[in-house]
């Protein structure tokens, strides 16, 4: 589940980037898998979604949002939920522990 405590709030300037998104009028279907979708069907849908993201002018903002809020589902900023989870795990492993916690 998405951690909504990390959402930036209702101020419009936090969400302005979405107005320029390449996916703006495509609906959620290309970016979120239906229940039970597996294997080749899921891979093909993910790849199609990533092609939309590849040419998106706000791809970076979208990915930053997904990472910050820990979006649990769908393709955001060109990465699937599994790819984002891997990226976050790697980043947390590289972060040094605060002084005194060793």
Residue ranges of the annotated binding site are 23, 53, 56, 62
CA-nearest of 66, 61, 69 to 7 is 69
Query: Residue positions in the annotated binding site for [4Fe-4S] cluster?
Result: 23, 53, 56, 62
Task: Tell me which DSSP letter residue 25 carries.
Answer: T
Residue 1 near residue 63 (C-beta atoms within 8 A): no
Phi, then psi, of 5 in degrees rounded to 5: -70, -15
């Amino acid at each position: 589940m998405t951690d909504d405590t990390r959402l930036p709030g209702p101020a419009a300037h936090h969400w302005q980037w979405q107005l320029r998104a390449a996916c703006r009028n495509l609906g959620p279907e290309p970016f979120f898998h239906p229940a039970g979708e597996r294997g080749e069907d899921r891979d093909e849908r993910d790849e199609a979604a990533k092609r939309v993201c590849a040419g998106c002018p706000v791809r970076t903002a979208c990915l930053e949002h997904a990472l910050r809020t820990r979006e649990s589902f769908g393709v955001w900023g060109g990465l699937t939920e599994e790819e984002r989870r891997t990226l976050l795990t790697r980043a947390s492993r590289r972060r040094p522990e605060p002084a005194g916690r060793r």
